[in-house]
Amino acid sequence: MIHVLAIITAKPGMREEVLGHFRANMAAVHAEDGCIEYGPAIDAEGMGRIQTPVGPDAFVVIEKWESLDALKAHGAAPHMAAYAAKTKELLASRVIHVLTPAA
């Protein structure tokens, strides 16, 4: 299994617009072969000092894929290219961590 944590930071005040495009694309991603989990998450409220917030303009995409090949196919999917084109000018940064379970 492959895990992905993608930290998406929108330009100030643009997170909800980016999330709108993201949510519109989720059904297509969920239908991809090998997709186990794919969804956005934002900071939980009220966690205090235990939490390191991602911030008001950011969200984390939590993904699980059956294999590296499935993840590579996801990255090459036409709906992902369309999503990237719609959000390119709205993003400040994007950091993607591709991980495997530790033994």
Neighbours of 2 (CB within 10 A): 20
The two three-digit tokens of residue 32, written as one number = 């991809």
Phi, psi angle pair for 32, to nearest 5°: -70, 145
pLDDT score at 76? 98
The fraction of the chain above a pLDDT of 90, given in percent, is 95
Q: Which CATH architecture has domain 2-99?
A: 2-Layer Sandwich (3.30)
pLDDT score at 68? 97
Phi, psi angle pair for 12, to nearest 5°: -50, 130
Q: Which one, of 78, 73, 86, 88, lies nearest residue 35 by Cα?
A: 73
**Exposed, middle or buried, 100 (CB in 10 Å: 0-12/13-18/19+)?**
exposed
How long is the chain?
103
pLDDT digit string (tens) for 78-98?
999 999 999 999 999 999 999
Mean pLDDT to the nearest integer, 20-48: 97
Residue 103 has pLDDT above 90, yes or no: no
The two three-digit tokens of residue 62, written as one number = 């939590």
